[in-house]
Structures are given as C-alpha cells and as structure tokens.
Amino acid sequence: MLQFYYNLGPNPMKVALFLEEAGLEYEAIPVDTRKGEQFTPEYLSINPNAKAPSLVDGDTVLFDSNAILLYLAEKTGQFLAPDRGQLLSWLMFVASGVGPYSGQSVHFQTYAPKDIDYAVNRYRFEAKRHYSILDDRLAGRDFVLGDDYSIVDMAVWGWARLMPRVLDPAAWDDLTNLKRLIDDITARPAAKRVIALTEKHAFKTEQDAESNRYMFPSNANYG
C-alpha cells in the first residue's frame, strides 16, 4: 500500500486529491511540521528536504509534490493529457511560479518578523501575475489543458483555493475563470474526501516560538 506523508499545506493536498480521484489505497501519515516531525532521522531518510508531502511506493521513494503527481499519473495512466509538452509546461509553471510566489506572499504577509513592504509588494504582484496567466488560459476552456481534467488542474487547486490568504478575497473578482475551475474541483466527491482527511488528525495550530523554530529556522539567527 502507498504511504502518503502529509500535512495541511497546499502541496500535500494536491497529492491527496490525486489519490482520491484515482481511487488508490493509501496510508495517510501526518507530519506535524510545527512540532518538528519533519526533522526526525526516520523522516529525513524519506525526504532529505524535510518537507511534506512524501510518498513511498514499495522500493520507490518520492518527494516534491509535482514529481509525485507525475509519477502517480504515469503509473496509473490517469489524469494525463494527449499533449505531453503542454502538460509538462503547465505543471512546471505551477511548480516554479505559482507555488513559490504564493508561498512567499503568505510568508511575508503573515509570518515575517517585521513589515517589509518591498517583499510583500513583490510576492503579491508575482502571485497575482501567475494566477492571471492561468485565468487567461482558462478562458473558453473547461480545464487548463482543454477538455481533459489533469494533474495540472490538481496542482493549481492546491494553491489557488487559498486565494484569500495568498492575496485577498477580492482577488477573485479579477480571476473569474480560475475561480470557476477551483469551485468545480472543490465540488467533486474526491475533493470533499480530501477535506475530510484534513479533519482526521489534530495538527498543531499555534504559531509559537517552537513552531517558528521548526518552520523558519533561518529566523533563529535573524538580527
């Protein structure tokens, strides 16, 4: 059985969506990053980057959410697309742009030790720019790759459903095509099962000194 190491972040959730959509049997193993569980020797042997998600499939060990999505799609033959070039291009667009800029936008708005207007402006701008590219792409298309619901849409869903945190709720007013996609995916039975999964384990929610030390170790030396 697949072993799926997860927390409640956007990257684990897009992998959870694939697992549920594909009907795969898996063991969900929580990794509470606010408690530092990502730094145990056992977990580092699976994911040396000390992040979630990770996936163990027999002798195959994977980390990085987009690598896991691609691996599972190719293994099962599900949620790929006829045009492999477009699938890879848009999947990497999410991996290299949407995810990092969204994550940094949240970080500097929520967790930075002091207000840094330059950083907030830069990452909000770039996050909005990337989401706008997706919104334009979805004009006249059901899914990012056209008629085919694919791992690209799952990757987008992981991040874009957090738009109120990444930007603000009003951002949806300018991203109506993208909002339609996210709403459609969220209404799917598989997505509802993912949301149910997030309620099965009581992850630590307090962002205290311990959480900051484990989640943002660079700040321990911040002057």
User: E strands, the chain, where?
Assistant: 2-6, 26-30, 54-57, 60-63
Verify that 105 and 132 share a domain, yes or no.
Answer: yes
Verify that 107 and 174 share a domain, yes or no.
Answer: yes
Residue 216 reports pLDDT greater than 90: no
Residue 69 reports pLDDT greater than 60: yes
Verify that 97 and 9 share a domain, yes or no.
Answer: no
Verify that 171 and 90 share a domain, yes or no.
Answer: yes
| pLDDT, position 223 | 46
Could you give the 3-state DSSP secondary structure of residue 215? helix
Verify that 113 and 32 share a domain, yes or no.
Answer: no
* Arithmetic mean of pLDDT over the chain: 95
The CATH number given to whatever domain includes residue 112 is 1.20.1050.10
Count of the separate structural domains present in the chain: 2
At 94-110, the pLDDT tens digits run 999 999 999 999 999 99
| pLDDT, position 222 | 52
Verify that 211 and 178 share a domain, yes or no.
Answer: no
CA distances from 63 to 50, 86, 88 (A): 9, 23, 18
The CATH number given to whatever domain includes residue 209 is 3.40.30.10
Residue with tokens 């800029």: 101
| pLDDT, position 150 | 98
Stretch 6-10: mean pLDDT, rounded? 97
Residue 3 reports pLDDT greater than 50: yes
Verify that 61 and 151 share a domain, yes or no.
Answer: no
Domain that residue 202 falls in: 2-78+193-221
Look up residue 194 and give its amino acid. Answer: V
Verify that 153 and 201 share a domain, yes or no.
Answer: no
Verify that 92 and 179 share a domain, yes or no.
Answer: yes
Verify that 13 and 45 share a domain, yes or no.
Answer: yes
What single DSSP character describes residue 223?
Answer: -
Verify that 174 and 150 share a domain, yes or no.
Answer: yes
Stretch 55-59: mean pLDDT, rounded? 98
Beta strands 60-63 and 2-6 are unpaired
| pLDDT, position 5 | 98
Verify that 127 and 153 share a domain, yes or no.
Answer: yes
Instruction: Please tell me the distance from the alpha carbon of residue 99 to that of residue 83, in angstroms, as a whole number.
Output: 23
